[in-house]
Amino acid sequence: MPGQLFSSGDTSAGFGYSDELSDYLRVQVQPRTKFRQFADAQDHTKKGLHRGATASWKVYSKIANQGGRLSEVQAMPESGFTESTKSMTVFEAGNSVPYSGKLDALAEHDIKALIDKTLRDDCRKFHDIEVFEQFDRCAIRVAPSSGTSTTVLTVTTNASTVTTNNVEFGTGHVKAVVDLMKERNIPAFYGDDYGAISHPSSYRTFKNSLESVKQYTETGLGHIFRGEIGRYESMRFVEQNFIPKGGAIDSVTFDPTTETADAWNNAKSSWIFFFGEDTVAEALVIPEEIRAKLAGDYGRSKGIAWYYLGAYGLVHDDATNGRILKWDSAA
């Protein structure tokens, strides 16, 4: 077929590219993502070009047998740990806005306004959806015991729950979650703190309870996450409003890509993710960038796209080493 082809091997191959516009896209997208800022595993963020489509990483278990005291004549005990390999496959992603040469000639808006209103927003949503879907693969799920307890959790480790969540999220749940994460030896995400992310209204009852509680001690607080609203019991809370609510275990309609919500029964709460260090890895080959289509039809057909080549993968998909907990519901 005629046109600009990668396989043509001559001067017709390629695409229009602007470092300035690509840098602008990355600078504008990053501060607007909420989930992506918590894709913290750094091993694959610079996978780079010409290194194949698969990114792999090693996961090591804790030592099998605990060490202890020895008598003078006792031989040194021996133990070990297991090693497993996790992997993800790099994919392409993007979207474009075509426009005519006539529109380009007559429009009053400049190209940055177009990026700001369409491609930038679309690109940041893509990244948050991708990271959310990896978070949602976590094996450890928590729900209020009997569906209504304000202090006790039912914990499952099979990426599911049979408990129908029927209570607002509150301070008692935070304490139980933090205790659980500490006792599972989940390392803190930043400093001594864990993180949590959900919708503003999912935190409402909890936030009302915090009105008389000092949420921050400014001394020593060197970093505030995007969307962060406060800190309580070594948990720092972040709000997001793009990924829809709901999506209980029994849901067949929930879809973040189409922004299709499916509220939990009674809609008293919705998903919340709690996490420590080593959440999601990103294999970054080509960061998100702006690409301008080479003009067709003698300059009358134009277009601008964002493009990304990479992948996201849940670092620990098993419960034993899991770093992410989901406040969940069966229905």
Backbone angles phi, psi at 20, to 5 degrees: -60, -45
- What is the pLDDT, as a whole number, of residue 119? 87
Residue ranges for the chain with pLDDT beneath 70: 1-28, 30-31, 41-48, 50, 109, 111-112, 116, 211-222
For 237-267, what is each residue's pLDDT tens digit? Answer: 999 998 999 999 999 999 999 999 999 998 9
- What is the pLDDT, as a whole number, of residue 228? 87
Residue type, 76: M
Return the bridge partners of 274, or none. 196, 325
Task: Give yes or no for a contact between 165 and 144, defined as CB atoms under 8 angstroms apart.
Answer: yes
- What is the pLDDT, as a whole number, of residue 197? 97
Between CA 144 and CA 162 the distance in angstroms is 11
Buried b (16+ CB within 10 A) or exposed e, 39-58: bbbeebeebeeeeeeebebe
Angle, to 10 degrees, between the axis of helix 120-135 and the axis of helix 19-29?
50
Average pLDDT, the chain: 84
- What is the pLDDT, as a whole number, of residue 25? 65
The 280-292 sheet, strands edge to edge: 16-17, 280-292, 301-314, 91-100
- What is the pLDDT, as a whole number, of residue 26? 62
Is 209 buried (19+), middle (13-18) or exposed (0-12) by CB count in 10 A?
Answer: middle
Task: Give yes or no for a contact between 50 and 83, defined as CB atoms under 8 angstroms apart.
Answer: no
Quick one: which of 59, 60, 62 has its CA closest to 88?
A: 59
